[in-house]
Amino acid sequence: MPRLPQSKSFLKIIGIPYFPNGNLQEHFNSLDVENIIKQNHIFNNVTLALKPRVIKVLPKLDMAIIWINIWDV
């Protein structure tokens, strides 16, 4: 059965603490983001295109940017 081509979109979430519990050994990572997405009803019909990326904004700041790539429907 032929399938229509799909495109990707992304969500950018800013202002997330990179070390959510204040523990400098445990930073926010892509598995944390995936678990939160699975628990949130807003994302029920959303399919991830790639693993979420958590990027620390600056070395001296405790803030992160999260990029979530999703398939458009």
pLDDT digits (tens, 9 = 90+) for 26-54: 888 999 999 999 999 988 888 899 999 99
> Is 48 inside any structural domain?
yes
- What is the tally of structural domains in the chain? 1
Residue 15 lies in a domain: yes
Provide the pLDDT for residue 51. Answer: 95
Query: Is 28 within the bounds of a domain?
Result: yes
Write out the residue range of the structural domain in which residue 54 sits: 8-71
Give a yes or no: residue 63 inside a domain: yes
Cα distances from 5 to residues 13, 55, 68, 72, in angstroms, run 27, 29, 20, 10
Percentage of residues of the chain with pLDDT beyond 90: 47
Residue 56 lies in a domain: yes
Would residue 2 count as lying in a domain? no
The answer to whether the pTM exceeds 0.85 is no
The DSSP element (H or E) to which 16 belongs, if any, is strand 8-17
Mean pLDDT to the nearest integer, 8-33: 87
pLDDT, position 26: 84
